Structure 1
Amino acid sequence: MVSLLRKKYARRIHKISIHTFAETAYQFSHQKRSLFGPGLTLLEQTGFSPQQVLHAIHKSDTLQLISGFEHAFFDINNIQLDDSIVIVHPLASSQAYIESHAWKAVISKSLFGSITEDSLGATFDSINELMPEHIMQKLFNAKRLSEEKFASIATKSRDCIAKQRAKKKRLEQSTIEKMDAESVFAMVLEKLHE
């Protein structure tokens, strides 16, 4: 049965490591090349991971992580347990259980949590349209995310983002025009049947 690591026990932790049975999942999560690169400054990165959720095996003054390391800005040397939620798994967890848990976390984050490269323009627009300004300021140190900054984070050129945004706008415009033509056609048919 899992439980939360209490703060009084968290203060006693002196060593944090990757559990031996989760090591290959950890290596995979940090060897893969992401669409989005480390285009954020260290100061900005802290805004993206203020509270980590870590899954671990706890033994006296040691935490052995079995997941939580799949986050883009994970740094085992800079874990702040006071700002983290640590879910403790049984000390007697089997190798199969730990490996399965680690790989499920890594795969769900790295494969199913990614966006397609051809949707970067739409993603950029959505961030600027939907993200509240105070969050934007905190995460990107700006009132609006610029194409240049987004391109840097996405490891693409600014021109790539601009072209995708223009393509998206053309598609939206042609969809509106098609809908207008269809509605005019429907009205004409309706009038003919009256």
Structure 2
Amino acid sequence: MIGIVMAGGKGTRMNLDDEKLLLQYKKPIILHVIDSLKNSSCFSKIIAVTSPNSPKTKKLLEENNIETFDTSGLGYVEDLNSVLRKFKDLVLVTSGDLPLLDTEIIQTIVKQSDSKKIWTSILVTDKLLSSIGTKSEYSIIHNNQKCNFTGISLIDSQKINSLENIEENYVILDDKRIALNLNTKQDYDLLSTA
């Protein structure tokens, strides 16, 4: 399995002077996410997906000997599609802005992999997000409850020709380690209470 970390976004909702993934939480958040994947021992390769929107993040990754994959930076879906076409394998895709991610939750997620499923998105409930004081713009109703995307998916990219018309499956893992994405300054402020 390949670990893919999406690290090419603009981070515009944070309204920062610098790139979002360089924010510190013990160390730059992007390095925390990469180390969580590395230390899980679940992946044959870990790749950070960068773009022209994240030149400082790419520089930091390269200085730390982390393999990068350049995309156009046109958008999350376009960038993800580009990397999935390149690496035909089972992949775990995660956002680079999950500061509470750790080895144990990565291993738990990898165990959710099902060879019969092409795409499985990991969800948390709206109730969990509310309990930790955050919210998400990306929600669905699953199992009769409002759930939110974590930015983590298990994908069999060998079975994908395009990202259109793929049957998406869902697994709910209510865990704050995957619930807190840094999308706003308020989310970053919540780290001090996590």
Structures share a fold, TM > 0.5? no
Structure index of larger Rg:
1
TM-score, length-scaled by structure 2: 0.24
| TM-score normalised by length of structure 1 | 0.24
Identify the structure with the greater helix proportion: 1
More strand by share: 2
